[in-house]
Amino acid sequence: MPRYKIILEYDGTDFAGWQYQPDFRTVQGELEKALREFGEGAISVTGAGRTDAGVHALGQCAHFDLKREIAPQDLRAALNAKTPGDIYVKSLESVPADFHARFSAQWRRYLYVIAKEPSPIGRRFSWYPPFDYDFKILRQIVSDILGGNDFAGFCRAKSQKENTICTVAYAAWTQNDSQYVFEITADRFLHENGTAACRHNDRHRP
């Protein structure tokens, strides 16, 4: 069965997250619904990670298998025609059968955007905190989380039995005229401690 890798961009505002839920609109659910129209029955889409409700993606990686081979350019065009406007397949390519969107990923990158003042236009893509904060301190403390650290204190209680060691390769705050942006890149993220962009091995890097 041919395997395909896709890189997605989506506006997560109107989704209940990535993972399929029978009674809610999800990114995985919309993709699988579009793929069913190819007449091959149920097709499972595996993502590099699971984003929560309201989380956006600039480069979310996923893969799926089909029973027949379709030219990648034709398949990408068909998927973009069948998916709603808040999902866009940025790229699609054939990959070897051992490629896995989750397990082949080396790094995952998240961006957190804080608005300096309320923005009706940007409210879907930034957060305006209802309290004061010191940006200089925020910039100073990010160096403390670089490298391998135990993030058990930042995740859900039910995750305490899991491996809670994450390796943070990059973490930094930047700013422009209207926003502060926190960027963090790590090998993995835990429940509630993490646009989902992933870097894969060199052979299949987006």
Residues marked as catalytic: 52
Whether the Cβ atoms of residue 63 and residue 6 lie closer than 8 Å to each other = yes
Which regions of the chain does DSSP assign to beta strands (E)?
3-10, 46-47, 57-65, 87-95, 105-115, 147-150, 165-175, 179-186, 197-200
- Name the DSSP class of 67: S
Q: Are 193 and 174 contacting, i.e. CB atoms less than 8 angstroms apart?
A: no
Cβ(110)–Cβ(189) below 8 Å: yes
- Crossing angle, helix 27-36 and helix 72-82, to 10 degrees? 110
Tell me the Cα Rg of the chain: 18
Q: Which amino acid is at 73?
A: Q
Closest CA to 136 of 175, 169, 171, 184: 175
